[in-house]
């Protein structure tokens, strides 16, 4: 499980706009900071968000409260960075205010922060931890290689993925930011351990191979994940179910401000 949280990547020093301010003040902050939008606060409580587009054709004396958006998607500091990524890439929102249970502003997480976290996501430690597990369970000594693997030969070990995260992986592949897969190679098999969203994204894009950490297991043993895949009737990437974003439990968390309205 990914243990990286929003609090690990959010910006703590946030430029805000006071709810009693005017369009003129927002314009001045845009010119000064180069930012295209700001959380609107009363004291330290987030009450809205104002973006540059909200200022179009508005007199400079117009109160911020009249042009800001009150229906926000916000993030919790203990939310998984992967869950925050799902919301950002699915909704098209570039920045999420990070708040506590009282809607007090703690920071802000942007699409740039999410991309940075994903670039850092794959580490040798994750791969070697898996190798250590194989050694402990089966008494074997796997070899590790780095190579391109054919997408259509992968045996999945995960039965479902989320559509919104899939869109995020497509974005990363297009930008050259996708992390390697983790794959176990056994005689006649390529078992996908980590990277199901990336593999499906590549398949949808017509990409034939992806970069991967390949763990070579030459011993004649069946891994537990193979038995799990067989129990779920998983034979290829086509057997993976893609779930719609609306079914993700995160939605109930991120629309907190709308309910409190």
- Per the domain annotation, does 253 fall within a domain? no
Q: Is there a single domain that holds both residue 26 and residue 136?
A: no
Q: Is there a single domain that holds both residue 134 and residue 43?
A: no
Mean per-residue pLDDT, 76-91: 85
Q: Is there a single domain that holds both residue 138 and residue 102?
A: no
Rounded to the nearest angstrom, the gap between the alpha carbon of residue 29 and the centroid of all alpha carbons in its chain is 29
Res. 261 pLDDT band, cuts 50 70 90: very low
> In this model, does residue 16 exceed pLDDT 80?
yes
Q: Is there a single domain that holds both residue 111 and residue 139?
A: no
Over the chain, what is the mean pLDDT?
86
> In this model, does residue 10 exceed pLDDT 70?
yes
> In this model, does residue 116 exceed pLDDT 70?
no
| Domain limit, last residue, from 118, 153, 173 | 118
* Whole-angstrom distance, CA of residue 118 vs CA of residue 128: 19
- Per the domain annotation, does 254 fall within a domain? no
pLDDT for 168-179, tens place per residue?
788 888 877 778
Structure tokens at 251: 């939605």
> In this model, does residue 68 exceed pLDDT 90?
yes
Domain that holds residue 84: 6-118
| Domain limit, last residue, from 93, 118, 143 | 118
Q: Is there a single domain that holds both residue 241 and residue 129?
A: yes
Q: Is there a single domain that holds both residue 98 and residue 212?
A: no
* Whole-angstrom distance, CA of residue 181 vs CA of residue 150: 11
The pLDDT value recorded for residue 84 is 87
Give the chain's domain count. 2
Q: Is there a single domain that holds both residue 36 and residue 144?
A: no
Range from 24-38, 69-83, 120-134, 150-164 carrying the lowest mean pLDDT: 120-134
Q: Is there a single domain that holds both residue 134 and residue 226?
A: yes
């Amino acid at each position: 499980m990914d243990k990286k949280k929003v609090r690990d990547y959010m910006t703590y020093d946030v430029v805000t706009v006071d709810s009693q301010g005017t369009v003129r003040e927002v314009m001045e902050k845009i010119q000064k900071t180069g930012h295209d939008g700001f959380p609107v606060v009363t004291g330290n409580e987030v009450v809205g968000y104002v973006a540059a587009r909200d200022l179009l054709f508005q007199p400079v004396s117009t109160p911020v409260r009249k042009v800001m958006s009150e229906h926000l998607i916000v993030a919790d500091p203990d939310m998984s960075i992967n869950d925050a990524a799902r919301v950002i890439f699915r909704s098209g929102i570039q920045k999420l205010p990070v708040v506590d249970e009282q809607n007090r502003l703690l920071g802000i997480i942007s699409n740039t922060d999410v991309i940075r976290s994903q670039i850092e996501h794959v580490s040798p430690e994750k791969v070697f931890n898996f190798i250590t597990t194989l050694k402990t369970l089966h008494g074997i000594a796997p070899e590790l290689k780095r190579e391109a693997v054919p997408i259509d030969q992968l045996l999945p070990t995960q039965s479902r993925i989320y559509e919104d995260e899939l869109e995020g992986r497509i974005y990363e592949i297009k930008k050259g930011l996708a992390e390697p897969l983790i794959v176990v190679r056994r005689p006649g098999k390529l078992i996908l351990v980590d990277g199901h969203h990336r593999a499906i994204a590549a398949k949808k894009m017509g990409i034939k191979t992806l970069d991967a950490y390949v763990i070579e297991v030459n011993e004649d043993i069946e891994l537990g994940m193979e038995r799990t895949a067989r129990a779920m009737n998983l034979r290829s990437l086509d057997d993976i179910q893609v779930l719609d974003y609306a079914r993700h439990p995160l939605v109930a968390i991120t629309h907190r401000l709308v309910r409190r309205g």
